[in-house]
Structure 1
């Protein structure tokens, strides 16, 4: 088993760019499968969950390779999100495993719901959803207790590694004993090589071109200058909570999905679950602290949460009475247009899935 795993890891290192492209192509395919054949949505979600789990394993493996090579220097610095989540994963093993388990549940929760819909009653299906939400809330509270900071989503590092900059691998693998170091340094990427084109000859009588304005120079240099977040320690990229109000805001935000699922279990026809979870959203938003301009990672997390409010257009009575009729009418109009007809058909295939499954639009 270990030898097979080592061979797979060696194959991954040699073909990491091709595998990344294949993952992206298959992930695009999952959006086109629903409606093509019976249980197509189940096949689509099974493929999507498998790809997400495989990508998480590949990211872990590539991060391990980079960390084991002291000479590795990325051409592009890691993002603030990667620096922060990686620092916490390296500092505390509880954070690492809680974050991975939380992402595993997030990758597979819709697939689990599809399986329950085919095997158990609607009441038991919602009981299973509530159990999943309880586990997710416990894991998020663990992350909150460890970091004492705003929970960042996703809580694991994202793939910020350029495959062309990875050290070359022959037969070695992270699961085997390290082999001898390579005899030559990695090749210089093409975009960093000097093209060695000679400059044209200018006679002294030729007037040199006018220099560029200072504005152009500043626009070129400012994006390349170091900012305060670039030199901050990774654990300081998000400020720790300093008041009870910060804690209350984050606790309310974490409890929203559980409250919504619990209220849907007892009352799926009225608009009370939607009103209650919307009230929790705005209470949490009004209580959270205002991040300063230097707190880029915290501000981006708050912006993501604000954008997620648009998902309420696809939930509950808002979806049934307002959004669904408009989208259905738009898809029907598209169906008569030669090119847009494919897009309209795709929308019509997805509308029943939003009606039937909680986790397609769940908070």
Structure 2
């Protein structure tokens, strides 16, 4: 593994090119591989895992002896951000395999285990970070610094290109559905790609070497220092972390057609977000630019409730089909609208495509 790390760090650009090439080649694989969803999802997961691991190796590259000591200390702790990224890469594969071998109803057991694992990892990360807001579900390190817009523009194009194709399937419909699988993450792709944040964090770490080990606050010291605002902030973060697990457990018990899981999940999201917004005006809890972007991202994720049953089956789908019929005779626009509706209807069938977790 150490030899592989050295090779990746010496050949960063070459590794990025290989990843882009591998993602592009998935579009050229024979149609027979699309007969089962398992094979395309497995390929997608493998490529995602390789990309995440390579980026983690690159971003943890020590640049001097002082930083080597710091990196050694970081390496000794569990890489929660990397773990959560890997979970995101395999969760759709878990859903597809579970549905294929155990049926549609039993897949919720596996999804509950997946969400519970992410909840535990996020709670541990929240504690280890000193109770800072989780960015993109913990996949991005929150160092409390503001972003530099000029640096973003310099590398945004290349990063977005590498984000494309990570979820490629082997049929036109499969590729399109896969593109929808990251609907809940579009905000971060357009304004702040996850591993773009990681690159920024690594660049800042190189320039700002810690002279001493930072002592992380305990929950009691955090609450005593931040007061009521700190309590509201922690409540909002815990509700944001726990909401997907509560939602899956309720679906597992009451079924996907019941309004109870939908309403409870929406209530948790709204209450948690209100708590986070209420405490941001407190000078004891100043929000960095990435944290403000995270709050905006969470607001955008509320749109996913329109794509979740039973709301989708009873209201959204009818609106989409009505719009499609209205525009079907308009050249080009009608064709594109029909394809978009087909994408939305197909993507809605997967929990992980619309989970927002």
Q: Does TM, scored on the shorter chain, surpass 0.5? A: yes
Q: What is the alpha-carbon distance in structure 2 between the residues aligned to residue 119 and residue 252 of structure 1?
A: 32
Q: Post-superposition shift, 1:344?
A: 4.6
Residue of structure 2 equivalent to 1:276: 264
1:123 counterpart SS class: coil
Q: What is the alpha-carbon distance in structure 2 between the residues aligned to residue 47 and residue 362 of structure 1?
A: 21
**Which is worse superposed, 293-302 or 327-336?**
327-336
Q: What is the alpha-carbon distance in structure 1 between the residues aligned to residue 234 and residue 87 of structure 2?
A: 24
Would the alpha carbon gap of residues 339 and 137 (structure 1) be closer, same or farther in structure 2, given more than 3 Å must change?
same
Q: What is the alpha-carbon distance in structure 2 between the residues aligned to residue 319 and residue 273 of structure 1?
A: 14
Q: What is the alpha-carbon distance in structure 2 between the residues aligned to residue 124 and residue 338 of structure 1?
A: 44
Is 1:59 paired with 2:55? yes
May I ask how many residue pairs the two structures share in their alignment?
A: 273
TM-score by length of 1: 0.61
Q: What is the alpha-carbon distance in structure 2 between the residues aligned to residue 49 and residue 134 of structure 1?
A: 20
List per-residue Cα deviations over 1:9-33 (Å, max 9, x = no partner): 4894462453354366469x59xx9
List per-residue Cα deviations over 1:21-52 (Å, max 9, x = no partner): 4366469x59xx99x9533x444433332222
Residue of structure 1 equivalent to 2:297: 304
Q: What is the alpha-carbon distance in structure 2 between the residues aligned to residue 143 and residue 16 of structure 1?
A: 28
TM-score by length of 2: 0.62
List per-residue Cα deviations over 1:51-93 (Å, max 9, x = no partner): 221211221232244x3368xxxxxxxxxxxxxxxxx987645
Q: Post-superposition shift, 1:97?
A: 2.0
Q: What is the alpha-carbon distance in structure 2 between the residues aligned to residue 349 and residue 303 of structure 1?
A: 28
Q: Which residues in structure 2 correspond to 1:37-52 (within 5 Å)?
A: 37-39=34-36, 41-52=37-48
Let me know the Cα RMSD of the aligned residues.
Answer: 4.4
1:122 counterpart SS class: coil
Residue of structure 2 equivalent to 1:153: 136
**Larger C-alpha radius of gyration, 1 or 2?**
1
Q: Post-superposition shift, 1:335?
A: 6.0
Would the alpha carbon gap of residues 26 and 306 (structure 1) be closer, same or farther in structure 2, given more than 3 Å must change?
farther
Q: Which residues in structure 2 correspond to 1:1-363 (within 5 Å)?
A: 5=4, 9=8, 12-13=11-12, 15-16=14-15, 18-19=17-18, 21-22=20-21, 25=24, 37-39=34-36, 41-65=37-61, 67-68=62-63, 92-93=74-75, 96-147=78-129, 148-153=131-136, 155-157=138-140, 242=226, 243-268=230-255, 269-288=257-276, 289-290=279-280, 295-331=288-324, 339-340=332-333, 343-344=336-337, 346-347=339-340, 349-363=342-356
Alignment check: 8 A CA contact 1:331 1:345 kept: yes
Q: Which structure is higher in helix share? A: 2
Q: What is the alpha-carbon distance in structure 1 between the residues aligned to residue 266 and residue 52 of structure 2?
A: 32
List per-residue Cα deviations over 1:217-253 (Å, max 9, x = no partner): xxxxxxxxxxxxx9998x89xxx76222222121111
Q: What is the alpha-carbon distance in structure 2 between the residues aligned to residue 7 and residue 285 of structure 1?
A: 43
